[in-house]
Amino acid sequence: GKEMTTSGGCVPARQQLATLVKDALGSLFPEDAGMEPLVAACTNKFGDYQCNNAMGIWSKIKGKSSEFKSPNAVGQGIAKALPSSPLIEKTSVAGPGFINIIVSSRWMEERIHKMLIDGLGSWAPSLGLKRAVVDFSSPNIAKEMHVGHLRSTIIGDSIAKMLEYCNVEVLRRNHVGDWGTQFGMLIEYLFNEYPNWDQNSEEHAVDKLQALYKSSKKRFDEDPLFKKQAQQAVVLLQGGDKRYREAWEQICSISRNEFDQVYNRLRVVLEEKGESFYNPYIPSVIKELESKGLVSESEGARVIHVEGQNIPLIVVKTDGGFNYASTDLTALWYRLNVEKADWIVYVTDVGQSLHFEMVFYAARRAGWLAADVKQLPKATHVGFGLVLGPDGKRFRTRATEVVRLADLLDEAKSRSEQGLVDRGREDIWEADELEQAAEALGYGAVKYADLKNNRTTNYTFNFDQMLDVRGNTAVYLLYAHARICSIIRKSGKDIDELKKIGSLRLAHENERLLGLHLIRFPEIIEDALADLLPNTVCEYLYNLSEIFTKFYSTCKVIGSSEETSRLLLCEAAAVIMRECFELLGITPLYRL
């Protein structure tokens, strides 16, 4: 069949149906141009998709139309006016006008078979934007990288991957906290207390650095003389004094080293553009905001008033210095005007929502962001809840205050490794295969346990739960995927050959259900990106595994007369599972 294509991608079934409904609405109600077609996955067994326009239309035309005497008649009218399409098998209209649409099995078979040949990239939906910035992870130099930063890293990476799947160029930004008055304080303290600090590598451990940071803060708060010195140190540092600058760079590299350990383990790629990067641009950006009449004076500070907020956004402090907000306004300006991003996504805890709301407001008023939040360029804050420990309180890995995320990940890995050893894998696998599997399971478990929750809720960190082979866990799903791979291996057939010579049929009811779930994949990605909710993908993946199990327990694959077709269906399910893993940052395993 002929399908509309946009920039090489293929249009998901839901959107094709929406286009058909739009045509029908246009021909039935020409005076009401631009009515939005409402098409969604069906929630009952009478259809695969449903069209929900009739009720809304009925409430508008009730009593005014001679043609339509009930919402059901409106539904019937729309169904009749649908242009004929190879996508639709049949339609039926339920009571108040809902149109149930059954998709043609033939259409699904062709689409899935074509995907197997062209690759799943050919299913990528088109989002209508070119470049995005995802600002995520973003820990602070000399302070601990805590579980909140871990959440940001995991969620941000997944969002970046979904955008990348849709052929958006993503600038993965690590907005590291590497600037500000605290560095004057820390460096001054180091110079006073540890004159040979820069030669003493023992002091260069990150937990030492965090402890030093705490003591320097204490001294800063208690000792007015030290406070003065620290403030002078900031001036020296920001003025480019060599000795101060070098100490700052050394401190940054100690922390960076710690961050990189986590990124390497998780295989997350980020490009650091810390707060310091934007510092030189701040004065001109503030000037621009001032020239647009957005900045006013309040109690000695320069502020931007935000409609509906009692407290303004401070952009220049009373001492003339800049702050978190000045940096964020400047970074936003840079990303929009220099980097030319269409969409900027910030991933932090929900506690920072108000900050971003105010920054975005100022940027809209300045004309940097589109006035209509749905138009490009746009900015979105992706907030997430807390990570809780088994005690229901804020999660801490140790009694001490320093949480080493690398230790946490090591534990996930070693527990997984033990699980594999218990199942006798040590005897049949090479050491590096065991290690790779342990990493995929352990880190995958940590990521999935985080991503499967709606990000806005708090979630409880629990090793036993996330590593359970039977629950809704990465471990369970990785096993499910490996099982499909083993079915294909055991058949002894060359799948690439079957793709060329074989055909795929969705004859059995459970084959059809599986096929229908598969063709929905691109719609799920659209939904996940519309709300920036990676848990949508987790849910889809978990359901895929359940639907596959249902298929496999009723449809014999190896040795049946439908073997070729069913092997192709197995392969399609495995390909889509792997892409889901990929989008969630989980490394798929082919045997377990």
Q: 535-554 and 474-491 helices cross at what angle (nearest 10)?
A: 40
Residue 570 · residue 577 · CB < 8 Å: no
* 307: helix, strand or coil: coil
Residue 297: strand pairing partners: 302
Amino acid occupying residue 393: K
Structure tokens at 347: 């991933």
Residue listed under structure tokens 């600038």: 171
Return d(Cα 116, Cα 114) in angstroms, integer.
5
In this structure, the number of other CB atoms found within 10 A of the CB of residue 73 comes to 16
404/520 with CB nearer ligand ARG: 404
Dmax of the chain from CA atoms?
92
241/349 with CB nearer ligand ARG: 349
* In the complex, least distance from residue 372 CB atom to ligand ARG, rounded to whole angstroms: 23
Return d(Cα 254, Cα 27) in angstroms, integer.
67
139/442 with CB nearer ligand ARG: 139
116/386 with CB nearer ligand ARG: 386
Return d(Cα 184, Cα 238) in angstroms, integer.
9
142/488 with CB nearer ligand ARG: 142
Listed in sequence order, the residues at least 6 apart from 372 whose beta carbon sits closer than 8 Å to its beta carbon are none
Task: Order the strands of the 295-298 sheet from edge to edge.
Answer: 295-298, 301-304, 313-316
77/177 with CB nearer ligand ARG: 177
Residue 51 · residue 88 · CB < 8 Å: no
Strand ranges for 243-399 from DSSP E: 271-272, 295-298, 301-304, 313-316, 343-349, 378-384, 387-388
* In the complex, least distance from residue 533 CB atom to ligand ARG, rounded to whole angstroms: 19
- Cβ contacts of 30-35, under 8 Å, gap ≥ 24: 32/60
CA pseudo-torsion sign 496, 497, 503, 508: negative
Residue listed under structure tokens 């959107």: 15
| Residue facing ligand ARG at closest CB distance | 138
* In the complex, least distance from residue 249 CB atom to ligand ARG, rounded to whole angstroms: 19
Q: Nearest to residue 284, comparing CAs of 244, 338, 330? A: 330
Structure tokens at 291: 């020239």
Structure tokens at 98: 């809902």
Structure tokens at 27: 């021909």
Residue 212 · residue 189 · CB < 8 Å: yes
Residue 582 · residue 161 · CB < 8 Å: yes
109/135 with CB nearer ligand ARG: 135
Q: Please give the backbone phi and psi of residue 295, each rounded to the nearest 5 degrees, phi first.
A: -105, 135
For binding to ligand ARG (CB under 6 A), which residues are involved? 135, 138-140, 175, 177, 328, 331, 346, 348
145/478 with CB nearer ligand ARG: 145
175/265 with CB nearer ligand ARG: 175
Q: Nearest to residue 484, comparing CAs of 588, 553, 574, 580? A: 574
Q: DSSP letters of 50-96?
A: EE--HHHHHHHHTTT-SS--SHHHHHHHHHHHSPP-TTEEEEEE-TT
74/382 with CB nearer ligand ARG: 382
* In the complex, least distance from residue 155 CB atom to ligand ARG, rounded to whole angstroms: 13
97/148 with CB nearer ligand ARG: 148
Q: Determine how β-strand 295-298 pairs with β-strand 301-304.
A: antiparallel
175/455 with CB nearer ligand ARG: 175
